[in-house]
Chains A and B, each alone.
Chain A
Amino acid sequence: EDQVTQSPEALRLQEGESSSLNCSYTVSGLRGLFWYRQDPGKGPEFLFTLYSAGEEKEKERLKATLTKKESFLHITAPKPEDSATYLCAVQEVGGASKIIFGSGTRLSIRP
């Protein structure tokens, strides 16, 4: 069965304290892995798409990496405004428009 598991469920960091969020997935063939940011009461906002193992993408303090079984979202020197829930999702080859989301990691950055 296709699965997406994110860890940790919640993470509290001090401003400037770098860390990583994990997304492990099980699909028969990966069409794409997505990272989204979600603020309370709002819709998810797209961050990155990764397509193949070894691929990396960066945006400001965020960097996403991909292996054959997992993806990491690295946060370097975070600021309080980076506080949000980060969602990982995968789309399988041949899976039409079906996307499977993980439960997310709630990130809180203390000033």
Chain B
Amino acid sequence: EAQVTQNPRYLITVTGKKLTVTCSQNMNHEYMSWYRQDPGLGLRQIYYSMNVEVTDKGDVPEGYKVSRKEKRNFPLILESPSPNQTSLYFCASTGQLGTEAFFGQGTRLTVV
């Protein structure tokens, strides 16, 4: 089954404690993205990747890092989380530009 898998689904952490949210896709897609979703603001792109070792900033990259060492994996790293990073995060992958994105189940992050 084609899918994008994120882990963990829920995470509560403290300010400043580094964390990683993993994302893996099994469709051999070249393009992967991370989004955050906040009430009233919709989905905003954090980072995207066009291929292995090729990443670029989206609209809200501050406080986040990503890496793309393998085609299937695209982890999101928060080096020093802050409460304003409390949000619902989604990973997505796309096979070709102009085609639909497949989304993961989401990770609800709370930073206290």
Contacts and interface: CB of A to CB of B under 8 A. Distances in A.
Contacts of A91: 97-98
Identify whether the interface residues of B are mostly helix, strand, loop, or mixed. Answer: strand
Interface of B: 4, 31, 33, 35, 40-45, 48-50, 56, 58, 90, 92, 94, 97-106, 108
A98 B103 contact: no
A97 interface: yes
A88 B68 CA distance: 27
A104 interface: yes
Nearest to A102: B42
Question: Which of the listed residues B41, B90, B103 has the most CB atoms from chain A within 10 Å of its own CB?
Answer: B103
Given A103-B41, A103-B42, A96 B50 contact: yes
A100 B104 CA distance: 18
Contacts, number: 62
A104 B49 CA distance: 25
Nearest to A104: B42
B105 A43 contact: yes
B43 A43 contact: no
By Cβ-Cβ distance, the 8 closest A-B pairs, closest first, are: A43-B103, A103-B42, A101-B43, A46-B100, A32-B98, A97-B48, A97-B31, A31-B98
B49 to A, nearest CB: 8
Contact of A99 (B33, B40, B50): B33
